[in-house]
Amino acid sequence: MVVIQALEKLERYWGITKRYPGFAPGIDTINPAYIEGGLHPAYIPSEAKLWITVHFYPNENVDDITQEIEKQVIAAAKADPWLRDNLPTFQMGWRFSFGLIKVRYSLRLSWIPIIRE
């Protein structure tokens, strides 16, 4: 939830601060497209993955957008008691020249099973 909230915050900021001629404000979006974690809802997964799709204006650079997203996510993770010790990793997915990137964020979750004697 921390990562998605951080992405929502960044998307709202972009909607207020970014403009491009011929485009309505708010065209630049961050879409949490797919979440994967665990084999069954009753299990605690050892890893969770979040794929996002990002739309941005033609005058923006893919690398700059990616760095801005990673900076936002890491800052939010460092403020979280558990995530600060389990920071997300980033893997760039597909890159398109017309303002669309897909990025996968992986959260490697550590847990210890409780064994009762």
Could you tell me the residue ranges of all domains in the chain? 2-108
Indicate the pTM of the whole model. Answer: 0.78
Over residues 29-35, mean pLDDT:
84
pLDDT digits (tens, 9 = 90+) for 12-26: 999 999 998 888 888
Task: State the chain's mean pLDDT as an integer.
Answer: 78
Round to whole Å and give the CA distance between 29 and 27: 6
103, pLDDT greater than 60: no
Res. 93 pLDDT band, cuts 50 70 90: low
Sign of CA dihedral 91, 93, 97, 98: negative
> How many Å apart are CA 69 and CA 29, to the nearest integer?
11
CATH for the 2-108 domain, from 3.20.14, 3.30.70, 3.40.50, 1.10.287: 3.30.70
